[in-house]
Structure 1
Amino acid sequence: MITVLIVDDQPLQRFGFRMLLESVPDTLVAGEAATGSEAVRQAADLRPDVVLMDVRMPGMDGIEATRRIVANGGRSRVLVLTTFDLDEYAHAALRVGASGFLLKDARPEELLAGIRAVAAGDAIIAPALTRRLLDAYVHHLPGRTRDPQVSPELRSLTDREREILVAVGRGWTNAEIAERLTLSESTVKTHVGRVLAKIGARDRIQAVILAYDLELTRPNTSSALDR
């Protein structure tokens, strides 16, 4: 059973989400919140598996609420809902620790699949879509603040694990990484898991963001694997 906290300032929107979640046997609505501050409090009290987070709310918005929920170190993972494709708010949410995002006009089965994926510890954005998202907004990001030569995250990686991080940063799937690096998919999966653990990333999305921050990969250019 996956417990879900619904966060949205629109009562009808919360009602619709509740009806959908109550229509399937493997999800349970743990609670509802209409503001970001209320979401932070309820996430701490209820410890839901997934927080279904709206972005635009009065007072504390969904970005700040996500940051606080993630910073608290609890079990809850945040799935952000956005209004527009490639919304800049979605990128901001991913940077503060959200495990993915969906559009508010997603089909019911897509939303349910996303909730299940996030609850299982996966990022719900396909790697290629993650790449396009970051490509679209890279020019709005602050300048690089970390030098890859002195990065503690990179120092902890073996040469092979660094290759894996660069490949993840390029948006490659495990199958693509296996093919291009001549590895088995099971070996790639093991490497990815170790890389995420060593760099302290919750999921592949956070690994992609780190690769961008360290300029291991850049938009619309070849990566370090090609140099």
Structure 2
Amino acid sequence: MTTVLSVENLTKQYGTFTAVNGVSFSLAAGRTLAILGPNGAGKSTTLKMIYATTPITRGTVMINGINVQQQPRLAKQTIGVVMQDDLLDTTLTVLENMIAHGILFDTPLQAVRSRAHALLTFVGLANYENADTTDLSGGMRRRLVLARPLINDPQLIILDEPTTGLDIQSRHVFWRKLNILKQQGAAILLTSHYVDEIAALADDVVIVDHGCIVAAGPAGTLAQQLGAANLEQAYLQATHFDERSDQIEQTRHQ
């Protein structure tokens, strides 16, 4: 399988504080890798370095053979990013949001419009192309948030807590769409706090804590490798969770 993403010794420091400490992993086309960890473990910081919105202190990120530090704009051309916040333009319609995002990739307007129509059909919003985004339900907004970063036909899709706040039905719809994209050959990297979401989507899991990888392996066998009953117990064990001492440690950055 073709390696789409390669992360080597990725490190992020803010002064004397180390948010991400020597993280390494790879992701192939048609595979999904989930990063699991508590708040403040460095998940979002890791993603931000990968998609070039946060400078890398040390280490290397390669996307489709492109060094993200050396050619961030070129690397971004093959990435689609779904963040926790939808960041939709409320002054534009559903279709106009899609087109405005597509123009950022220097794609001819006619091609952008054609792909926008196809993607809105894919996420079930074909009948809402001319609707204001403020008229969409929460689940419908998340469908649009998924469709928009696919406008450049990305080989790597990055999702940071993509279904937070969605109801059960909307989450399952979202999962189904992501699995279709994986079957079509996309590489998917996501963070999530939902163990059932990781079970439904991930081929492999990386567990991080205090900026370091503390466990990694196939989603289906990681618990067994750690001698745990299930993935949730494996996560709690790997992160040394102790209910008797649950004080939140002070950190500067996630």
TM-score (norm 2): 0.31
Q: Which has the higher contact order (CA 8 A, sep 6+)?
A: 2
